[in-house]
C-alpha cells in the first residue's frame, strides 16, 4: 500500500507540472519540419541555473506503444545514448515507478553520477491517449536539480516525441559547457528515434519483448 501511495503522489506531482511549450503552440513551419522527420529544438530561459529549459519535438516512424516500450527499457539506454556510461535500475517502487542510476559524460568536466525517479503514466484528451515517462532527481554527485519527460502520442501514422529536459548543474564551470550540454540533449532525442527504427528493422524480437514488459506495466495504472 505504501508503494502504491508513493507512486500516486509522484504521478500527481508530475501531472501538475505545466508543459510550457506544447505541440499545439508550434508554428505551421515547425510542424511541417516535424512531419518531415526533422527535429524542432526550443529553449526557454530558466529563473535559476546556468542552463535553459529545453523542449524537443520529433516524429518517430512507429506506434506510440513501440516508442514508449523502447524508452521504458531503461537499462538499454547506455547502449544507444552516447553520453551515458551507465543506466541501471536500482529501486522498483511499482511496475511504473522506478529509480535509475546513471553516469553521464560531461564535456570538459568530471563524469556526473546521479539517480532519477522515472514514472510512467497515461494522459487522455478526448479519444487521444499519450504515454508519458516523467523523471525527477533523487540524488547526484553535484547536480542540484533535474526534471523532464518524454511524451509519446499519435501524429498521423507516426508517433510524436515531445521531450523536455531541465537541469541545474552544481559546477561553477557549467556555463562554459552550455552549448555542449544542449547538443547532448538534442543527440539524446535523436538517439531515441534512431533506436526505435533500428529495433524495428534489425531486432524485432527485442522490441516485442519490450512491448510485453510495457503492456504488463500499464496494467497497474
Q: Give the phi and the psi of residue 78 in degrees, each rounded to 5.
A: -65, -20
State yes or no: pLDDT of 15 exceeds 50: no
Residue-range domains of the chain with CATH: 2-218 (3.30.530.20)
The tens digit of pLDDT for each residue in 135-183 reads 999 999 999 999 999 999 999 999 999 999 999 999 888 888 899 999 9
| The three cell numbers locating residue 164 | 523536455
Mean pLDDT, range 189-201, rounded to an integer: 98
pTM given for the model? 0.90
Q: Where are the alpha helices (DSSP H) in the chain?
A: 2-15, 28-35, 64-72, 77-80, 178-202, 204-218
State yes or no: pLDDT of 17 exceeds 60: no
Q: What is the pLDDT of residue 90?
A: 98
- The region of weakest confidence among 1-10, 114-123, 142-151, 154-163 is 1-10
Q: What is the pLDDT of residue 125?
A: 76
**Cα–Cα distance between 125 and 104 in angstroms, integer?**
35
- The region of weakest confidence among 19-28, 72-81, 189-198 is 19-28
Q: What is the pLDDT of residue 19?
A: 52
State yes or no: pLDDT of 185 exceeds 50: yes
**Strand 112-125 versus strand 97-104 pairing type:** antiparallel
State yes or no: pLDDT of 13 exceeds 60: no
State yes or no: pLDDT of 108 exceeds 90: no
Q: What is the percent of the chain where pLDDT is above 70?
A: 91
Any idea what the Cα angle at residue 202 is, between residues 132 and 80, rounded to 5°?
50
Mean pLDDT, range 40-56, rounded to an integer: 94
Kind and range of the H or E run holding 219: none
State yes or no: pLDDT of 4 exceeds 70: no
Q: Where are the alpha helices (DSSP H) in 106-177?
A: none
Q: For residues 138 and 18, is the Cβ–Cβ distance under 8 A?
A: no
Amino acid at each position: 500500500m505504501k508503494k502504491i501511495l508513493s507512486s500516486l503522489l509522484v504521478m500527481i506531482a508530475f501531472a501538475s507540472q505545466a508543459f510550457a511549450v506544447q505541440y499545439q503552440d508550434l508554428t505551421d513551419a515547425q510542424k511541417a519540419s516535424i512531419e518531415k522527420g526533422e527535429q524542432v529544438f526550443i529553449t526557454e530561459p530558466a529563473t535559476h541555473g546556468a542552463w535553459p529549459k529545453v523542449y524537443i519535438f520529433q516524429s518517430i516512424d512507429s506506434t506510440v506503444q513501440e516508442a514508449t516500450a523502447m524508452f521504458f527499457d531503461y537499462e538499454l539506454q547506455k547502449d544507444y545514448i552516447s553520453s551515458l556510461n551507465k543506466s541501471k535500475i536500482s529501486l522498483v517502487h511499482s511496475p511504473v515507478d522506478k529509480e535509475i542510476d546513471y553516469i553521464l559524460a560531461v564535456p570538459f568536466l568530471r563524469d556526473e553520477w546521479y539517480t532519477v525517479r522515472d514514472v510512467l503514466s497515461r494522459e487522455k484528451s478526448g479519444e487521444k491517449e499519450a504515454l508519458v515517462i516523467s523523471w525527477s532527481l533523487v540524488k547526484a554527485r553535484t547536480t542540484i536539480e533535474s526534471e523532464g519527460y518524454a511524451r509519446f502520442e499519435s501524429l498521423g501514422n507516426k508517433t510524436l516525441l515531445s521531450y523536455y529536459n531541465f537541469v541545474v548543474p552544481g559546477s561553477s564551470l557549467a556555463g562554459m559547457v552550455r552549448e555542449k550540454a544542449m547538443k547532448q540533449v538534442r543527440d539524446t532525442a535523436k538517439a531515441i528515434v534512431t533506436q526505435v527504427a533500428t529495433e524495428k528493422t534489425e531486432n524485432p524480437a527485442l522490441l516485442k519483448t519490450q512491448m510485453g514488459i510495457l503492456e504488463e506495466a500499464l496494467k497497474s495504472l
